Structure formats: C-alpha cells, structure tokens
Chain A
Amino acid sequence: QSALTQPASVSGSPGQSITISCTGSSSDVGSYDLVSWYQQHPGKVPKFMIYEVNKRPSGVSNRFSGSKSGNTASLTISGLQAEDEADYYCCSNAGYSTVVFGGGTKLTVL
C-alpha cells in the first residue's frame, strides 16, 4: 500500500484552469474506476468533490472535473476562483477492501 503520488503544490491565476495529477499503479488507479477527489480548507473537514473518476456529487460546481488514463488520474479546475484555494487529495480503491489516498496538493490562487 503505497500512497498515490500528487504534486506538492500547484498554482494559477483567477479564471485560469489547473490540473492536479494523481499517479498510482496497476494495483489501484490502473485497475479500478474508483478514484475520488476531496477538497480541504484549513481547519475544515474534507469535502467530496469527484467520485468514480469523473462524476460530481450533487452541489459540486461543474468547474471541477476528473479523468483517468492508465495509472494516472487527474482533477481539473476551470475558471479558477479565490475560494478554490485549498488542499486537494485523490483516493483510489486498491482491492481487497483497501483504499489509498494521495499525499495531497496545495492549490494557491495567485
């Protein structure tokens, strides 16, 4: 069970688009369409943003989208806004009733 690999930080200006990558292996991301993404503001509880690679829960802005290719999943945020500044975590099913998170990415809106 190795943590999924995410960039430590990304940044973008308001209105721009950014993409956060999440690299796993053929044992997790590559094997299951069960990748999810979470947003966490400082001192707050994580928020469910994307599930099953590219599905958005009710109430999540359509500026957030997900995708996957091989062992790498991605979260794209378009039309960047100040309130998007937060930590983002990816998560994948890893088989045998286990789950693995990524190390997290700090998004800075310049």
Chain B
Amino acid sequence: EVQLVESGGGLVQPGRSLRLSCAASGFSFDDYAMHWVRQAPGKGLEWVSGISWNSGSIGYADSVKARFTISRDNAKNSLYLQMNSLRPEDTALYYCVRDMGYGVQGNCDYWGQGTLVTVSS
C-alpha cells in the first residue's frame, strides 16, 4: 500500500524557515517524480514544486521560487521542502504527492494527508 506521511509543519513567524519532510513507503520511491502541493484554508489547490526521480529536473511555482527548495533522498525514501523567508500567505496545508511518471508531469496519483504550516507573528 502506497503511503506518504508528511511532517515538519507548525507555527512559525514571518521571515523564519521551516523544513517539511515526507516519508514514502509501499512503492519504489526512486521510480517516481514527486511534488509538494498546498491548500490555504478554504482555498483551492496550488502546486508548489516538483522533482524528477533522480533530482535532475526541478520546478517551482513563481510564488515560492528563490525561497523554497525541494529535494529528495532516494536512499531514505524521503522528500523534503526547505521553506525560507516565510510569509503569511504561505499558510496552508502542504501535501506530499506522487507523480505517475519518472519526470514532473502532473499526474498526481497518491496524496499524503498533509502537514499544516501557519505563518503568523
């Protein structure tokens, strides 16, 4: 059974940093691209970042470019999101998501339960 379990969320002040982690199990992690997708309270889905199976291709939404960094450790079956210079508008539930393919395609077949990030003073 595919499982994606996010951690690392919490309350953080504006301008500070936070690192999210996602532990994957139940599939060959290094055969799939991965994404972070967020959802602000009461709002729609927003794609944040994606990374190919071997970290060779990475993309970011304009809203987080230069502030967030996605990475993965295939030996540890883990996905990460380093979030710097956090803003109140980054407040959201952050989902770890698997892509069906090796590359960043957008066919998001499995989703974690999410970890909540709240940016507030």
Contact = CB atoms under 8 A, between A and B. Distances in A.
B104 interface: yes
Contacts, number: 75
A36 B108 contact: yes
A9 B50 CA distance: 29
Interface stretch (B7-15, B20-28, B55-63, B72-80): B55-63
B113 A101 contact: no
Interface string B36-79: 01000000111100111000011111100000000000000000
A34 B50 contact: no
Task: Give the contact-size bracket for chain A.
Answer: 20 to 34
B120 interface: no
Task: Give the contact-size bracket for chain B.
Answer: 20 to 34
A97 B109 contact: no
A23 B49 CA distance: 22
A48 B108 contact: yes
B95 interface: yes
B107 interface: yes
A101 B46 contact: yes
Nearest to A89: B45
Contacts of B107: 34, 36, 48, 51-52
Interface of A: 1, 3, 34, 36, 38, 40, 45-46, 48, 51-52, 57, 87, 89, 91-93, 96-104
